[in-house]
Amino acid sequence: MSVVLVDAGGTNIGSVRYALQRLGVDAALTADAQSIRSADKVILPGVGAAAPGMARLRELELVDVIRSLTQPVLGVCLGMQLLCEHSEESDTACLGVIPASVRRFEETPERCVPHMGWNRLSPVAHHPLLKNLEEGDWAYFVHSYAVPVGDYTLVSCDYGMAFSAVIASGNFHGMQFHPERSAQVGAKLLKNFLEM
């Protein structure tokens, strides 16, 4: 099985790669369109902001490449947000493969932004990606923008409001949290993705 990490400039690429190595998979880091198209699984990692993330994909001429993929694709953190149609962050048009918009958390006295740390997951759908995921399992988040709950939501999370922790539409999937930093739960979900 060939797995590639899209080299879109995300600062979490190394930790995602190590998490995959712990599962016995050596994922190649690439910005080569043909390598991405021919891989069995594609992972789009990312930490940072939506506008620079999309600018990097345009610069690499990977926007249409990613949109046209038919194999399982996983976006992680910012990578998940880039799979959506639009982000409020710098009013950014994204890849548009998942019919969702990304919105900034509203800061309140009870809700600090960014949302940072461990939080509980609540599965709301049945999906192979969620195999053996339990209600209340913990995952590690760092983000200021989130995807509202919708038809694409597989797992929700509560941070003074419900938001999507895992989303999917067709062959495109996203995890808002960092599976590579979410201990056994993250490893389990990455393993599920690799087995899809």
- Of 142, 144, 176, give the one whose Cα is nearest residue 157: 176
Task: Say which amino acid occupies 41.
Answer: K
* 10-49 tens-digit pLDDT: 666 888 999 999 999 999 999 999 999 999 999 999 878 9
CB atoms within 10 A of CB 106: 9
Which pLDDT belongs to residue 9? 73
Which pLDDT belongs to residue 24? 95
Residue 171 has pLDDT above 70, yes or no: yes
* Mean per-residue pLDDT over the chain, rounded: 95
* Interval 168-178 mean pLDDT: 97
Residue scoring higher pLDDT (13 or 50): 50
The residue whose two tokens read 């190590």 is: 18
Lowest mean pLDDT among 7-21, 56-70, 74-88, 106-120: 7-21
| CATH code for the part of the protein at 3-195 | 3.40.50.880
* Interval 158-164 mean pLDDT: 97
Which pLDDT belongs to residue 15? 86
d(CA 123, CA 117): 19
3-state secondary structure of 37: helix
- Of 192, 195, 186, give the one whose Cα is nearest residue 18: 186
* 70-98 tens-digit pLDDT: 999 999 999 999 999 999 999 999 999 99
d(CA 163, CA 148): 5
pTM score: 0.96
Percent of the chain at pLDDT exceeding 90: 92
Catalytic residues: 77, 178, 180
d(CA 98, CA 5): 19
